[in-house]
Structure 1
Amino acid sequence: MENIESIEKRLWEAADDLRANSKLTSTEYYMPVLGLIFLRHAFNRFLKVESEIKKSLPSRGGVTRQITREDFLSKNALFLQEKSRFDYLINMPEDRDRGQAIIEAMDAIEDDYEDLKGVLPKDYHIFENDLLTRLLKVFNDEALNNVNGDVFGRIYEYFIMKFALQGAQDNGEFFTPVSLVQMIINTIEPDNGIVLDPACGSGGMFVQTSHFLDEQGQNANSAVTFYGQEKTSTTIRLAKMNLAVHGLEGKIAEANTFYEDSHELIEKCNFVMANPPFNVDKVDAEKIKNDTRLPFGLPGVNKNGEVSNGNYLWMSYFLSYLNNNGRAGFVMSSQASSAGGAEKEVRRKIIETGNVDVMISIRSNFFYTRSVPCELWFFNKGKPEHLKNKILMIDARNIYRKVTRKIYDFSPEQLKNLTSIIWLYRGQTEKYLGLIKDYFNKITMECDVLPKALKSFNEEMLQLSEQLKSFSKNAELGKEEQDKLKNSINELTNFVNKYELDLKNLQSQIKDWKSSLTPNGLKDNNLQLKYSEKYQTIFNLKRDISKSVDQIYRIIVSTIEMCEIELSAKTFENWKTREIKKYKESFDDRKKELLRGLRSSIYYFKQILWLQEKFPKAELENVEGLVKLVNLEDVEKSDWSLTPGKYVGVAPEEEDEDFDFEQTIKDIHLELSDLDDEAKRLADLIQQNFKEMGL
């Protein structure tokens, strides 16, 4: 679905609006709302599978066999009794108690499916009937009628993320930012066997693993087995619902991983991934001193008999769970990589195993409820011998995309570019070259659709230019007014002439460049470098044309406004108001469409340049301020620190040759929008407090 982002936003705003007008907090509200998304998804899946089953049901004596629950199980779908179907809840009489009806719907599903027993939310009596009616209508959005499970999974994850932003339930720590999860998965590549998350939260690691496997052409339920532990029962419910919404299976136990190993998976896991709680104190040392998952001993015990910081307990657990070729990736406090005392001793022992693989520094503001920086750690027990005593250090603190005033993440291309460094480290040159090839293919596609966008823009530009020239020629204006209008038209003519000259040159250059491309050439580094060098002229032309398009649009629009406001053009017979308004609106759309295409290809070429300038030989190199491959001797000399910044140095300051004014304006609007939202939230909170005080 192309408009999934706008649908997510619309559904969220509608649902959150209802919450704002109720007396419910986010903590009270989020689980029931996620339950309604679950019901809507289950119903969509039910209808789709029911249709498939009916086509293949056997008949005997002209009588078709009844559909059974087992028919749905065979297709990874939930069988829904009538009272659990979303249309039943939507169409029930107005005076019916909707809260009770939804509870009965959830009970019926749990009765049919043991794995969901006690998982689905039932606290719908806290809602007023009218509020529930409106909520059901929100999720009865027509755009959701024919979508698949992936879309509902996206919506479910989006709502979890938004609730995490609001700090619902344990400060939102049940949700790991998707960028960090994707970076972990891209690095460890969990594609077979047992996958464990011993601090699984809402199950995001499992869901993103399934997306990774989908891209590889594998089915997650066939390729891997998910195991999880989580100490909070409410969060386990979130995770089990999340898995169900995505059609995934998993074994999630309620347990405190510091003290319990519910699945007994020591040395059995192919992959371990986690975002454990950082800097946990007061872990009872007596209870864990003989734990076989702690081969390096305890990281330090205080006078109260407590491990004062649990970070290295987690790391020991992760390493102990891996089989002989297993990989682990996890999020950890940035303090841990250089911690001293007994923690340093455990870190030294872990480093000396040779299993520390990659370290990545992440800047602050990647988490929704905490602004602290962090690091991604990676273990690999299957490292080839030539890498056994080496660690790849990546400092990614200067790589980010601004999402809101307070939240940053990685763009898809930033994720791919960082991952490509790891490919080079592992000698997977073909993947690195394949990424550059993909970027070239995207540029080529943009070049193919460019003529259509240019034609549409040029037609609208010509229509409006002719209207202005006609008005200037025929309108009876005073000398000062006529001169002012002529100056604007002359300025426009100059820009159009430059634009047309650049355009002619661009079309010739693109034709020449495309004719030089060959499929095999796009797999060869030397030829890729030549293609980039040849494309540089096109890149510069596209930047110039983008600026000209902006200028032409600005001059035409400002000249029209001058004619109508200052020169009273609407009173003149030859000023065609309706036509000009229609062309002006269309001109705006054509400009945006053209600039999207031009800037998109500029953007992808910048990704190519970023990679080729840093790794011109398509081999791993030390890049100041970004990456360095270090030996264990280097680490020992640095007091066993695993902080990437200590090794990679400081990146030279880059000059911005192409200041993105439009993106800067977007960032400013983003900040203003966030401040407006915050002001609205505080105003609502104050108003609610006044009501509760009887004022």
Structure 2
Amino acid sequence: MAKKKANGNGKEKSIEESLWSSANKLRGSVEPAEYKHVVLGLIFLKFTSDKFEEHRKKLIADGKKKYIEMPDFYNMSNVFFLDEVSRWSYIMENAKQNDIALKIDTALHNIEKNNKVLKGALPDNYFSRLGLDTSKLSALLDTINDIETNKDKAHDIVGRVYEYFLSKFALAEGKGKGEFYTPKSIVNLITEMIEPYRGIIYDPACGSGGMFVQSVKFIESHHGNKKEVSIYGQEYTNTTYKLAKMNLAIRGISANLGEKAANTFADDQHKDLKADFIMANPPFNQKDWRGVNELTDDPRWRGYEVPPKSNANYGWILNMVSKLSDDGVAGFILANGALSGGGDEYKIRRKLVENRLVEAILILPRNLFYTTDISVTLWILNKNKKKQSRQIGEEARQYREREKEILFMDLRQMGIPFEKKYTQFSEDDIRTVVDTYHQWQTDGIDNIPEFCYSATLEEVEKKDFSLVPSKYIEFVNRDENIDFDEKMKNLQSEISDLLRAEEKSKVDLLKVFKDLGYEINISE
């Protein structure tokens, strides 16, 4: 296993940090978006090979040496079979050869071919295509070779390394990219709130599979049985689809991510699915997501207005609503604009409230995401309130009342610094939010200024079905009358005026020079 080293602050580096530092130094001119598939592909190759060798030794020890080259004797124990040229030992023996990139591509191709559950999972000709420097690739292999994947299984070394690398690559890719990864503290918050113990879990925009990984961790930490959940997901980007399959395979998590990477709206891979738990962080504010006349009769919108083609936010919401089981609950992230939009969005939001699906709205701090610095919202939709309200006695009365309320929470004062310019929830933050939410569900809570408010449906109706938390939560230290939407519209108008003025000044300046007999070509 890689030895821990001291970092710049004199503290001992974790295994993940040491490996990342070594691997990142070898990146050279390769972009992080490409390099992540190289590094994560090698981690996967090392892991699967170590598992294969471990099981191979067990077969020999059990007197089954004649079966050690038969794939079925590995697959029955959820171990991937590797032919000789796909094994890590073979790769390391040839690590200094000029054709090592081709050998790695061949190994990954053969592993996928020999193990049907890995269909479409592994990087395809990445190593040969990228033209990586042989000496750097060899050094990277030495770095990955330090990971003893079968040691200290209780602490999930390879899972920790894989997750750490995913987060670091997301940080490296930065704004406008890195959509394959939802920061861990957000995933933890959603998981702890909706508690996916057993049943069907679905993510319509699953990225690299982080929601699923954390769901299984939640089950294990609460002494549940991960065999009692079934996982379904869909991902649009082919390379991210592969990341998800590798991420889940490393952890021994079975999942149905569809036959291929595909657009959730145009090519739904799980049309008849009914999920008990939905967790998602779909793309924010997608434009032209369904074309002009496309998907207007889609069954997912049945009972609601057709979501506007100018923004997919409500398309994602109704996709999830259509896939909730009768007792299902969904927790998902959206841009704040979905809380108060007009037109068809207003009509959909109003019906969601009137149908008593909206259970909680939580405004989150800024800088939680690596791809955007905006504040976003966590929605909780819950169908099982109707089931709860059928209980008997005083508890039933409380649940019936809760069914007529929506919990609003403002978490913008929470969070601790992370990677200098980002924010993440601490464990105490998550516990505070989760405890408040669960107490509200069962016993009710007192409204707390600047933190939470339980609004009746009548109150929401009086606010014209706005779900902006600041319209309900009392603010004593800040101006509670600030209308965020109005402020943004005014700012937008001011910026537009400034840009128009700048453009006019530029035209006037060019005219002055032209009158003096000089031409200025501003396109150069």
TM exceeding 0.5: yes
Amino acid in structure 2 at the alignment position of 1:152:
V
Distance 1:652 1:47, change over 3 A: farther
Paired residue for 2:76? Answer: 74
Paired residue for 1:223? Answer: 228
Q: Report the alpha carbon displacement of residue 633 of structure 1 after superposing the two structures with TM.
A: 0.6
For 1:333-412, list aligned pairs within 5 A.
Answer: 333-383=335-385, 384-385=388-389, 386=400, 387-412=402-427
Deviations 1:607-635 (A, max 9, x none): xxxxxxxxxxxx62211111111111111
Asked if structure 2 preserves the Cα contact closer than 8 Å seen for 1:30 and 1:168, the reply is no
Aligned to 2:16, which of 4, 8, 12? Answer: 8
Deviations 1:221-241 (A, max 9, x none): x11111111121111111111
Asked if residue 642 in structure 1 is aligned to residue 467 in structure 2, the reply is yes
Paired residue for 1:462? Answer: none
Asked if structure 2 preserves the Cα contact closer than 8 Å seen for 1:83 and 1:105, the reply is yes
**What SS does structure 1 have at the residue aligned with 2:162?**
helix
**What SS does structure 1 have at the residue aligned with 2:299?**
coil
Cα separation, 1, equivalents of 2:122 and 2:66: 34
Unaligned runs of 5+ in 2: 5-11, 390-399, 479-524
Cα separation, 1, equivalents of 2:256 and 2:448: 42
Q: Report the alpha carbon displacement of residue 77 of structure 1 after superposing the two structures with TM.
A: 1.9
For 1:52-131, list aligned pairs within 5 A.
Answer: 52-57=58-63, 66=68, 68-92=70-94, 94-95=96-97, 97-121=99-123, 122-125=125-128, 126-131=131-136
Aligned to 2:280, which of 267, 274, 277? Answer: 274
Q: Report the alpha carbon displacement of residue 265 of structure 1 after superposing the two structures with TM.
A: 2.8
TM-score normalised by the chain length of structure 2: 0.81
Asked if residue 417 in structure 1 is aligned to residue 419 in structure 2, the reply is no
Cα separation, 2, equivalents of 1:156 and 1:650: 42
Asked if structure 2 preserves the Cα contact closer than 8 Å seen for 1:44 and 1:146, the reply is no
Asked if residue 157 in structure 1 is aligned to residue 160 in structure 2, the reply is no
Deviations 1:314-371 (A, max 9, x none): 1111111111101111001011112222211110001111111111110110001210
Name which one, 1 or 2, has greater alpha-carbon Rg.
1
For 1:84-483, list aligned pairs within 5 A.
Answer: 84-92=86-94, 94-95=96-97, 97-121=99-123, 122-125=125-128, 126-141=131-146, 146-148=151-153, 150-167=156-173, 171-220=177-226, 222-253=227-258, 254-266=261-273, 268-282=274-288, 283-298=290-305, 301=308, 307-383=309-385, 384-385=388-389, 386=400, 387-427=402-442
Distance 1:403 1:139, change over 3 A: same
**What SS does structure 2 have at the residue aligned with 1:173?**
coil
TM-score normalised by the chain length of structure 1: 0.62
Asked if structure 1 preserves the Cα contact closer than 8 Å seen for 2:167 and 2:181, the reply is yes
Asked if structure 2 preserves the Cα contact closer than 8 Å seen for 1:299 and 1:345, the reply is no
Q: Report the alpha carbon displacement of residue 95 of structure 1 after superposing the two structures with TM.
A: 3.4
Q: Report the alpha carbon displacement of residue 399 of structure 1 after superposing the two structures with TM.
A: 0.9
**CA RMSD between the two structures:** 2.4
Q: Report the alpha carbon displacement of residue 168 of structure 1 after superposing the two structures with TM.
A: 7.2
**What SS does structure 2 have at the residue aligned with 1:94?**
coil
Distance 1:136 1:65, change over 3 A: closer
Q: Report the alpha carbon displacement of residue 186 of structure 1 after superposing the two structures with TM.
A: 1.1
Paired residue for 2:451? Answer: 626
Q: Report the alpha carbon displacement of residue 23 of structure 1 after superposing the two structures with TM.
A: 2.4
Asked if structure 1 preserves the Cα contact closer than 8 Å seen for 2:357 and 2:383, the reply is yes
Asked if structure 1 preserves the Cα contact closer than 8 Å seen for 2:59 and 2:68, the reply is no
Greater displacement, 99-108 / 1-10: 1-10
Cα separation, 2, equivalents of 1:79 and 1:123: 22
Q: Report the alpha carbon displacement of residue 171 of structure 1 after superposing the two structures with TM.
A: 0.5
Name the % identity.
36
**What SS does structure 2 have at the residue aligned with 1:184?**
helix
Cα separation, 2, equivalents of 1:83 and 1:412: 45
Q: Report the alpha carbon displacement of residue 417 of structure 1 after superposing the two structures with TM.
A: 1.9
Deviations 1:659-693 (A, max 9, x none): xxxxxxxxxxxxxxxxxxxxxxxxxxxxxxxxxxx
Unaligned runs of 5+ in 1: 302-306, 429-618, 654-695
**What SS does structure 1 have at the residue aligned with 2:329?**
strand
Amino acid in structure 2 at the alignment position of 1:293:
R
Q: Report the alpha carbon displacement of residue 159 of structure 1 after superposing the two structures with TM.
A: 1.0
Paired residue for 1:442? Answer: none
Distance 1:169 1:87, change over 3 A: farther
Amino acid in structure 2 at the alignment position of 1:646:
K
Distance 1:424 1:5, change over 3 A: farther
Asked if structure 2 preserves the Cα contact closer than 8 Å seen for 1:179 and 1:410, the reply is yes
Q: Report the alpha carbon displacement of residue 86 of structure 1 after superposing the two structures with TM.
A: 1.8
Q: Report the alpha carbon displacement of residue 53 of structure 1 after superposing the two structures with TM.
A: 3.9
**What SS does structure 2 have at the residue aligned with 1:358?**
strand
Q: Report the alpha carbon displacement of residue 56 of structure 1 after superposing the two structures with TM.
A: 3.7
